[in-house]
Amino acid sequence: MKKLLLVPIIASLTACSSLQTVEERKTFAQPDWYSKCVQNGTEGWFWWSKDYVYACGAGESVYAQAAEEQMYAIAMNNFAKRINGRVNSETAIKFDNDKRTTHTHIAYKVTDTIVRQHMKQEQGRFTMAGRHYTFVRLKMPKDVFDRLVAENSVR
């Protein structure tokens, strides 16, 4: 009988010990790798090196899962825009009685794009004032990226 009671207790203690604490911050911050997110790079040394393409994304929400989904959706959209996207951008400046009004409108139209073989590289998260902030940098082998660009240019 003691063994039957001891197993669930040990299992619950083991599960709790594998939890990770999410940092609670008083000021907004971004991971260094996010603020310096490059679009491509090489990892490894000499003949063991490999070229990669990167995409970053961030999410913010009162719900942790919503912030995570935003982060991934934005990073994946950044891949898709580079593979198969068109950008429409407009900036208008108007002066009326020495007052300047500026209006900027940027629209991205990305048709359905296949994105495969991306790998999560780095991820960061914190909470501040009851909101969750998440950051991710995804990487994809450059040869896969180039193949996707070629496939989408044929369409």
pLDDT digits (tens, 9 = 90+) for 41-93: 888 888 889 999 999 999 888 888 888 888 888 888 888 888 876 655 566 66
List pLDDT tens digits, range 7-44. Answer: 555 555 555 556 667 778 888 888 888 888 888 888 88
Strands, E assignment, 15-117: 23-24, 40-43, 50-61, 85-96, 99-110
**How do the domains of the chain map onto residue ranges?**
23-81+117-154
Computed from CA positions of residues 35, 39, 45, 49, in that sequence, does the dihedral angle turn out positive or negative?
A: positive
**CA distances (Å), origin 68, targets 45, 119, 134:** 33, 16, 6
Total residues belonging to the chain = 155
How buried is residue 72: exposed, middle or buried, by Cβ count under 10 Å (0-12/13-18/19+)?
A: middle
